[in-house]
């Protein structure tokens, strides 16, 4: 792992002072020019319009970790026990299918749409129970389990050409890379790609930019690192809070990087030291992101 102090460094600034308990799943909705993100534990879907600066949230009736824009309009909510269609214009929700509804221990966690318009999504134990989580792919409306016996699956993202997927089980500290076939299905076993097991912070959410580099949140380290094609650190974003969770490129030119954070598990003393923990942060790196395909259910 590259520890060279000369790597490019940026400072993130406060974008929305929302103070989520567990901010997660930032997602750019290009058609509506809105960034959406979730406060999983408080059952809220937040939004920001970068152009107007307006922001707000929807109160939901269950935990949700991602709101993915659909090719048919609206959003698909990845929830603790179901996947649901959501209409932002009126806040209405319609269940699409169950999602580990028979397992009260788990909830949804990380998720991202792949280059084929399918959704990769994961579950984990509500108390991070060991090996309780799984990784799935929702392809044209059909849900397939890809992997089980994971504890905190994270860092789901994809190469621009659709040939590779990345993910991690956060507790291992290792980001894995998985070869994909011509329809986006995994081939063989995933291979270790970047090892953070001996560094400060644990790998959390990730996103890939237009140059093929991966931006990885390091939970507990107050940092997002940029990794090159070989998994080496070539850049880092410093935050004034310790628990960044995931990043997303947003805006018309996809050159603005937003970062969700959390205050989960904080003591009163930690909250006093990091009063804006759980808020949304922003940074201009000069690097352009990749447009996420719309999710296809048919």
Q: What is the DSSP string of 9-44?
A: EEE-EEEE----SBEEEEEEETTTTEEEEEETTTTE
For the domain 8-284, what is the CATH superfamily, name and number? TolB, C-terminal domain (2.120.10.30)
Tens-digit pLDDT profile for residues 87-101? 999 999 999 999 999
Which residues define the annotated binding site for substrate? 107, 109
Where do the domains of the chain lie?
8-284
Query: pLDDT at position 1, please?
Result: 42
Of 114, 204, 209, 292, which residue is the catalytic one?
204
Mean pLDDT by 10 residues, the chain (298 residues): 68 98 98 97 98 97 98 97 96 96 97 98 98 98 98 98 98 98 98 97 98 98 98 98 98 97 98 98 97 96
Q: Respond yes or no: is residue 204 known to be catalytic.
A: yes
Predicted pLDDT at 248: 98
| Cα–Cα distance, 258 to 23 (Å, whole number) | 12
3-state secondary structure of 134: strand
CA angle 13, 291, 110 (to 5 degrees): 70
**Predicted structure pTM score:** 0.96
- Give the number of other CB atoms < 10 A from CB of residue 94: 10
């Amino acid at each position: 792992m590259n520890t060279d102090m000369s790597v490019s460094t940026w400072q993130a600034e406060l974008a929305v002072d929302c103070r989520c308990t567990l901010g997660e799943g930032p997602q750019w909705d290009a058609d509506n020019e809105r960034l959406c993100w979730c406060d999983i534990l408080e059952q809220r879907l937040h939004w920001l319009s970068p152009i107007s600066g307006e922001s707000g949230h929807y109160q939901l009736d269950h935990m949700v970790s991602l709101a993915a824009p659909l090719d048919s309009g609206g959003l698909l909510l990845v929830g603790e026990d179901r996947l649901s269609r959501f209409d932002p214009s009126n806040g209405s929700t319609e269940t699409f299918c169950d999602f580990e509804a028979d397992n009260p221990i788990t909830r949804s966690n990380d998720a991202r749409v792949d280059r084929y318009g399918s959704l990769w999504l994961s579950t984990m134990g509500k108390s991070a129970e060991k090996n309780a989580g799984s990784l799935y792919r929702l392809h044209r409306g059909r849900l397939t389990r890809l992997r089980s016996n994971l504890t905190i699956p994270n860092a789901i993202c994809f190469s621009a050409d659709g040939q590779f997927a990345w993910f991690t089980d956060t507790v291992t500290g290792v980001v894995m890379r998985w070869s994909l076939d011509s329809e986006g299905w995994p081939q063989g076993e995933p291979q270790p790609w970047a090892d953070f097991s001996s560094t400060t912070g644990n790998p959390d959410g990730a996103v890939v930019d237009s140059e093929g580099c991966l931006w990885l949140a390091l939970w507990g380290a107050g940092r997002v690192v940029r990794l090159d094609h070989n998994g080496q650190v070539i850049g880092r974003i410093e935050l004034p809070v310790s628990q960044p969770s995931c990043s997303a490129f947003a805006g018309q030119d996809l050159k603005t990087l937003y970062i969700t954070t959390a205050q989960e598990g904080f003591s009163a003393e930690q909250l006093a030291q990091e009063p804006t923990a759980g808020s949304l942060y922003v940074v201009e790196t000069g690097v352009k992101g990749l447009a996420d395909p719309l999710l296809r259910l048919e």
